[in-house]
Structure formats: C-alpha cells, structure tokens
Amino acid sequence: QKEVEQDPGPLSVPEGAIVSLNCTYSNSAFQYFMWYRQYSRKGPELLMYTYSSGNKEDGRFTAQVDKSSKYISLFIRDSQPSDSATYLCASSGGYNKLIFGAGTRLAVHP
C-alpha cells in the first residue's frame, strides 16, 4: 500500500464547476499536508499548505484535512480553463520528507 493514494483521473469538468480532488494517506504520523499544481513541462507550484486537521481557504481554493479518516481534499470553486493541470497532494510527518500522491489530471473545458 502506498503511503499517499490519489486517483490519477483524468477528471474533466465544465467551466464554472466545483472540483473536488481527494487523497488518502496511511501514516498516522503525517501532520503537514500540501497541494501542488503542476502545469505541463513545469515544476510543481505550491497551492495550499495545512497543518493537522481543519480547513484552509485561499480565494477559489479550499483545502480540507480530516485526520480521523486520513483524508485530504482540495476544492476548486468556479473552475476556469486555466485550472487545467495536474494536482498533486503531499504529506509529511516532519523531517522535511514529502510523500506525494500520484497526481490527478484535471481538464476544465469552456
């Protein structure tokens, strides 16, 4: 079993839809959770960084962590074609080592 599981998709939605991206993790020691966006042929860009359980909102993006179920989510409201990218979740128990999910390819069509 991988430490971080993520459905690779692809996920295709119409412009303006609410997108829900999800990951599960197995290591109870994980306390730091990140979401990255990666455009084709680019490096990953940090979108959201959360510590422990709870929600964090930044513009159209909301990150949610439920440590009881080991479930992390990223919601994108009013999705735009420019949101089309691969979204990677990552978790860490500290010590700076990030464990990444497989990444979900998202396509937002006009």
Residues that bind another protein (CB under 8 A): 6, 32, 34, 36, 41-46, 49, 88, 90, 92, 94, 96-98, 100-103
What is the closest distance, in whole angstroms, from the C-beta atom of residue 98 to another protein in the complex? 6
Residue 17 or 62 with smaller CB distance to another protein: 62
Per the CB < 8 A criterion, the answer to whether 70 and 56 are in contact is no
**CA angle, 51 as apex, 20 and 78 as ends, to 5°?**
25
Residue 10 or 16 with smaller CB distance to another protein: 10
Residue 14 or 96 with smaller CB distance to another protein: 96
What is the closest distance, in whole angstroms, from the C-beta atom of residue 12 to another protein in the complex? 18
Name the residue among 20, 24, 98, 11 with its Cα closest to residue 65.
24
Q: Which residue has the tokens 């119409």?
A: 14
CA 49/CA 57 separation, integer angstroms: 10
